[in-house]
Amino acid sequence: MTHHPFRFGVVAGQAPDAATWTGLARRAESLGYATFLVPDTLGTPAPFTAAAVAATATTTLRVGTYVLSAPNRTPAAVAWETATLRTLTGGRFELGLGAGRPDAEHDAAMLGVAFGTPGRRIERLSETIDAVKDVRIVVAASGTRLLRLAGQKADTVALGVPPATTEEQVAAKVDELYELAGDRFPALELNMNLACAGSEPPDWALARFGRTGTGILTGTAAEMAGTLLRRRDRLGVSYVTVNAQFMDALAPVVERLTGT
């Protein structure tokens, strides 16, 4: 398995005001996180605008989407927004893209756009990637068609698996990506998102996900770092993102592993 250096990101989707939002971004930067990422739902801030505001409050932190629903926008619109943020952030913008979660169909209807069939949504995602220039592309993928597209065109593949997914199940996804990506596989950075992290998961996380899924990281800083090192050895996952609620809890691991 090819080893990429560790890097870490924060996924943030809630803030009552600009001061709180920029404070989150500055906190993530001060803790050593590489990226500050915004989801794409009608229940969270508009991702391009929110990323721009976070970038104005920081100096080295990269900002991005995690992940933009490609069916909800034309490729030209995404390319326009991306070029603007690439320029105004001094190259600190990363574009995360997906073919749309199941609940994204509701968002598309509210926005007055056609969500489309799974095949058409994947085509739209591919067209969007082709329209965008000079930024790092993250593609969220789980099924075979998306894994194939990500293997062909992404810089980073975000493995779109639920938090309760076991390592064995993730390993099967990585094996499939390996076959589909071919010669591109060694260059691909693999990402997984943590729903929670820390010495003890909160009750809501235990109720929803249990203790054994790959989206739950528990233990001391040394134990959590050891788990991520083992997962990189086995799965190739070197880019780890975490819910903003737990960025302080993961910070000692970020300090230990970033760049190694």
pTM: 0.95
User: What's residue 253's pLDDT?
Assistant: 98
In order, the DSSP letters of 224-258 are: HHHHHHHHHHHH-EEEEEEEGGGHHHHHHHHHHHB
pLDDT grade, residue 23 (50/70/90)? very high
Across the range 217-243, mean pLDDT stands at: 97
Q: Which domains does the chain have, with CATH numbers?
A: 7-257 (3.20.20.30)
Residue with tokens 């991005």: 64
Rg (CA), the chain: 17
For the stretch 141-179, pLDDT in tens is 999 999 999 999 999 999 999 999 999 999 999 999 999
**Residue 67 preceded by cis peptide, ω within 30:** yes
Closest CA to 204 of 166, 163, 241, 248: 163
The β-bridge partners of 1 are none
Q: Are 213 and 167 in contact (CB under 8 A)?
A: no
